[in-house]
Structure 1
Amino acid sequence: MTKRPGIQYWPLGRLGHADEIREHFSEEAALIGTLTILWNNHEIDLSRLFTYLVGGKHSYAYAIWARQPTHKARRDLLELALEHGDLDEPRRVQLAEIIKGTKAIADQRNDLIHAEYVVHSRTDRLHAKVRAPNSAKPPTYHGSSVKDLQRIIDELGRLNGITSQLIVDLYDRDGSMRQSIAAVAATLRGKGSWPSQGNPRSGSPPPSDPQES
């Protein structure tokens, strides 16, 4: 990797563009993409929890959620709905844990998604360079090695699991949704369309819909 004398950090991808990123930091770039996808899924799940707590027409509740300008505003709205919503104590504790965990990871995710990525000229280690908005303070440099990124993804994956389970518990009181999902999964496995391990490689066609056969 090219060193630039006298420069402590140099911006990744400014000269070599995508090829430079793929050649030197493909694993880190893949993890940042994974973080983005998981976070988007998590926000969708949070919206489902909010619409459940608000009750009434889901389209109206979702419109309220979608009109919030920031993730923090939406999270505050969910916290308010939890305070006044009708949940039993175990599920109330579970949702409170989800909100707390989301708060803990939100700033880290925000920094990683919106940062300028730079490489230390001596160690060749990737960092996320973050400038606080409307501040004259110098930027901070967050380590963004594979280990750093994987730690955040693991925690977000844990939150995804808890949130998905709570959604199923709330929306599927009689278990019919779970039975339908299990039946579809069994059909796909029988047709060989369900991946035996991991995810299908990029570019492979999605599993066919059993109803189309």
Structure 2
Amino acid sequence: MKYTTILRLFAPAQEELVLADAMRTAGLTTAADSLTRIALVLAERGMWVGAYAHIENEFIDTDPTKVKKARAVCLEAGNAVMRREGFLEAGFEPGAEIYHAAFLALSRAGAVPDGRCLARAAVGVFDSDPLMCSDVIRSEGRSPFTYESADKLIGPDTPAAVAARKAARAMAAASRVQEHGDEEWYEAAELMVGAAWHGSVAAELPPLHGLTEFQDFFETVMERVLDVGP
């Protein structure tokens, strides 16, 4: 593969980097640095996935044996990246830690008169599918993390700050939903729709702005009924 092709395969998610920058500006430096590291790690693993896809497209018809060997090599290389950073080879650990950062950002946004940039960046890292959000928010990261501080959040009475605190509390509520079956899966997803709704308002955007799958879920599954919470 050409060196320039490989460089293009290394593509950190801009949503995570934007959130990290917003958190760093707000003084959440340690969390921002951790989030940046996660974004780079996921990009490194993604580079190996992309490399395999490139080889498969190039040789699947002419050299399937090479493709099979490349798959094994690229898969192991990607898994090695995750092991190096202390993540499981598969699972929601990285996403869980990204959501931890989003919660911290929303919490800070709820403590200041104008946290629009933090709120907008936090909602930006939510997965496009509320049901995937449900899985991620209820997963653990590498280190213990508690959402319990959401119950103690205080801040200004500005509409943006109030909405940010509601978004953080919705995330906390979703994280506490037990993992038993579809009913709980959907319950946590609905709470994450609430978090995205309030996060959008905190960012002074229309509710669920730009979140097409959230909008669909809200209209079809939730039947346009939102429990706004405290």
TM over 0.5: no
Higher Cα Rg: structure 1 or 2? Answer: 1
Structure with the larger helix share: 2
TM-score scaled by length of structure 1: 0.37
Hey, which of these two has a bigger chunk of strand by percent? 1
